[in-house]
Structure 1
């Protein structure tokens, strides 16, 4: 998965990557040439007292060092830009893919995991790309070039590399092998911490209302401790790397000096050549260390790449039409024909053989007990999910054949849990229509019975709204969400239990104000309160996913026991209250 992700998203940057390889090659060869020049200065300049040779060769060393510096800076610069561009592209692709998901796929992954995959996971793979450009490319060049240059200085001492290099590689390999499972577990632990933290922040009012701060604190502490313990285990293993590297480097240096001194005494090698050989050995061991360090980064990046590719490879259950219908005749005629819906792996369908028609100028209400499938039924209309049987038609065209933008343009949805975005009242209302004027916004607010409280807010339309609308009450959120749908001026209004947080007086005034505005549109209302839907043109009664009643309020009281039971239970509750 890692190779596949890198290949697909680094293909547009093949030229900068080739330039990185070229600069790294030139810079590495320059660094390998410096010890040889230093050896010549010692053996041919210092030993003979030839000042001109020292100055001349020293000048070459300065020039080679300058080339090395320029190439290294260029390689790091291009590598960093390429890595950042790679991260940007992957994040963008993941974000776009998640936006195509239906509610089913979002629920499968979970919001905390999707956030982690698009931030932390992408960052880990991005770091791999950066380190590959700065370390992985240079490591093999240094290793091969260092061996060649070391053999050029002295073949006898080169036998020490047959011991030190494998020892370092094996030691680091054993450490890294034990860190791989820890990296995999760390990503899961990060998901858990994000999930718990997100739940606590989102549900802070519930936590405080039930005095559950100690419990939530312990829950977060447990998740945090699990992540910390895993990170510490991996960190302790990583902490062994530097001491092991230094131990091998120092022992190898001592060995080179011990045996090299004997060869110098035997006049088999010059002092300058011994110094150069020692430097080459250090460079080779450092290259091995860089390569093994990359092996430590690769497993974590591979785990992250698997999680990223899993999102990118997941197809939405709501598939865009191959040949979408872009123009339809009609004005908000909605029909459901024998619609059924069943979640994958479920033993029974959520909806069974639902059929009804909602025409412009008429209000269709859906009522039923909790879990009857009301919200799922409403989600089928804007294609948040697709039916497993039957068809949903808008103006005579199956919604699965309509261009998505054309479908959504015709629908104004007020969800069961109204969500407001960070910004202002105006920016949230213009989410329905970016070109709406301030006058249109105030008109929508007045219809939604929200004008008074918005006018009292500091700034009016420019009043700030916190993420999720947490700085306004539940009833105010519902009215702002209704106003947002009104600003859109759609042909089909979908109200998913959108009046539940309103008092009966506000509910009645809002519905009365809606009638003239929606007289040319089809209105579908999901409600729990009978008083909200008593005047509807047709009421659909759901029970266990099936229609058990269809008609007006008076007819259903006489013919539908389920509806009569709902009405009686609510009347009893009102009398008791």
Structure 2
């Protein structure tokens, strides 16, 4: 219930539509309740007395009431659909906006496939419950209570038959709802796994084909799809049992009413019209019970989806963006003061241990180390993708927590280890770094990043990169990402192994272009010694700690790890040439 109240705030802008829908459904309900009384009057008074004028007059009233019910029903459908779709749109927009506020630590808590499901399937379930559930939810209790009162008013003795059947039906429907409701959470979880498998297979389709693993992934998808089908069959197979239970109860009730009602008509206790009207009310009552059970099943699934959406909306961003903080990074100085870091508070070991470093403004810094040594973790602290667990990280002489996070990230450009391009043209992608960049500025950035070497071959700035940049190679992606970051004109540029897929000659040209940027601090993570040997400072990380710092000449003379790296990459002739 708390979750329902929480999401109700997103009904803003559509409350009047909801109110109109409620009033219209009440009008429809009252009109439908009046029809059996009018029918009984036609039979018991008009037909028995032979008054054709009374029959016609009452019949006209029935037509008017029926038309009124129809108009109210149509009006409800329009306003409820508008309210439901608007509510869903507001909820989806709020969930997406909240996701944008997440820190990386928050995103680590959710699978991307699960977030997609919560933004799409779960909100669609809530919308459907709104459209299909509000009408019976409002109508059914009114129809049930009013039908019972009016049926008893017609014939209290005949109502006993119904009251005998009612408890059995209520218990049966209650057991069905109790059994099925928990299954919806399981169903949505299996839907998450299906989306995860599908998303992974589509992203990795080239690798799948390259390794001829179509059969393997098809079998994996078949297993997950079968699990979803089995779960859905079990869930909805239980849900549809309410219909047989309702039909059985209805059949027994009709037989009982016709048996005892026929005897009462024969003895003159009630008229045929009364029996006919009573049967109409019983039908209304039974339908109300059936709708109530269906609504409970619908709401049980919707409540599960509401809970999943609220998990996203209630997740507090792990990082304060500090919107009132400093708005500009004044220079490219970087300092880490006794920094320790771990990704989760429950992690047993730190990824970084007591790291203390200083990078001068405009300098070039190389970072080397083995896999898992903490290189990427270290540079992710500079733009506050994560916050240090202990110690302080300073950029431009100021603690990164004192900046407005958007201003900090504008001042610390980062070429991520995993290159990301978007659907659209080269120009569209590069303008992510600077939406107002002119074509001349874009081309200048392309020259520094050596994008100009292949730009004409792919169609210039108007070339379509395809989904995820699928129309260009890995090395070309890296160069485009470097150009995009250059357009942002940051004070600090971080290159997280971002030239690993280019050949050494191109790598050298990119480094030469970057070296000409005197007012920008360049932090380069690399696997190749050749990529950082000209740096003003080289940092060797080992198991999350600073093992050594110095220039190429200093480390080559004194540090065994650096010596081993240099020797292995030069003696074996493996320069780490990338391929395009």
Partner of 2:423: 422
| Secondary structure, counterpart of 2:353 in structure 1 | strand
Shift of residue 89, structure 1, vs aligned partner: 1.7
- 2: distance between equivalents of 1:500 and 1:26? 70
Shift of 1:48: 2.1
Matched with 1:562 is 561
1:204-258, CA deviations, whole angstroms, 9 ceiling, x for partnerless residues?
2222222222222211111111111111112322332222222222222222222
Note if contact 1:75-1:133 (Cα within 8 Å) is conserved in structure 2. Answer: no
- Distance in 2 of aligned mates of 1:46 and 1:471: 81
Q: What is the rounded CA distance, in whole Å, between the counterparts of 1:56 and 1:364 in structure 2?
A: 95
Structure 1 residue 176 displacement after superposition: 2.2
Q: Match for residue 207 of structure 2?
A: 206
Q: Which residue of 2 aligns with 1:142?
A: 143
Q: Report the CA distance between 1:115 and its aligned residue.
A: 0.9
Question: 1:57 offset after TM fit, Å?
Answer: 1.1
How many Å apart are 1:12 and its aligned residue? 5.7
Aligned to 1:352: 353
Residue 94 of structure 1 pairs with residue 90 of structure 2: no
In the alignment, is residue 531 of structure 1 matched against residue 534 of structure 2? Answer: no
Distance in 2 between residues matched to 1:273 and 1:573, nearest whole Å:
102
- C-alpha separation between the residues in 2 aligned to 1:53 and 1:286? 30
Give the match's secondary structure for 2:471: coil
Tell me the residue number matched to 1:225.
226
**Deviation larger for 121-130 or 256-265:** 121-130
Q: What is the CA distance between 1:537 and its match in structure 2?
A: 0.8
1:283 Cα deviation (Å)?
0.7
Greater mean deviation of Cα atoms: 28-37 or 8-17: 8-17
Residue 549 of structure 2 aligns to a residue in which SS?
Answer: strand
Aligned residue for 1:464, secondary structure, equals coil
Name the SS for the 1:365 alignment partner.
strand
Distance 1:12 1:167 in 2: 43
Residue matched to 1:305: 306
- Could you list the structure 1 runs, at least 4 aligned residues long, displaced by more than 6 angstroms after superposition: none
Partner of 1:331: 331
Say whether the 8 Å CA contact 1:496–1:527 is kept in structure 2. yes
How far has the Cα of 1:313 moved from its partner?
1.8
Structure 1: give runs of 5+ residues left out of the alignment. Answer: none
In 1, distance between residues paired with 2:561 and 2:317? 36
Separation in structure 1 between the aligned mates of residue 572 and residue 283 of structure 2, nearest angstrom: 84
Question: Matched residues in 1 for 2:126 and 2:222: separation?
Answer: 28
Displacement, 1:323? Answer: 4.4
Distance in 1 between the 2:324 and 2:422 partners?
34
2:96 aligned with 1:109, yes or no?
Answer: no
SS for the counterpart of 1:109 is coil
Stretch moving more, 56-65 or 522-531: 56-65
Query: Counterparts of 2:99 and 2:418 in 1: how far apart (Å)?
Result: 20
Once the 2 structures are TM-superposed, how far is the Cα of residue 314 of structure 1 from its aligned partner? 1.6
> How far did residue 575 of structure 1 move?
5.9
Tell me if the contact between 1:340 and 1:389 (Cα under 8 Å) persists in the aligned partners. yes
SS at match of 2:182: helix
Checking the alignment, whether the CA contact within 8 Å between 1:28 and 1:138 is kept in structure 2 is yes
Report if aligned partners of 2:133, 2:298 keep a CA contact under 8 Å in 1: no
Structure 2, unaligned stretches of length 5 or more? none
The 1-side partners of 2:545 and 2:110 are apart by 29
For residue 507 of structure 1, what is the aligned residue in structure 2?
507
Q: What is the aligned partner in structure 1 of residue 258 from structure 2?
A: 257
SS in 1 for 2:515: helix
TM-score (norm 2): 0.95
Contact 1:5 1:305 in 2 (8 A): no
Tell me the secondary structure at the aligned position of residue 69 of structure 1: helix
Contact 2:383-2:408 within 8 A present in 1 as well: yes
C-alpha separation in 2, matches of 1:576 and 1:124: 55
Match of 2:119 in 1: 118
Whole-angstrom distance in 2 between the partners of 1:331 and 1:2: 47
**Is residue 7–residue 310 contact of structure 2 (8 Å, CA) maintained in 1?**
no
Per the TM alignment, residue 59 of structure 1 is displaced from its structure 2 partner at its CA by 1.6
Number of corresponding residues: 574
Give the Cα separation in 2 of the matches to 1:47 and 1:438.
91
Mapping of 1:54-93 within 5 angstroms?
54-93=55-94
1:31/1:68 contact within 8 Å kept: yes
| 2:528 and 2:575 in contact (8 A); partners too | no
CA distance in 2, matches of 1:6, 1:508: 55
- Alpha-carbon distance in structure 2 between the residues aligned to 1:543 and 1:575: 22
Where does residue 488 of structure 1 map in the other structure? Answer: 488
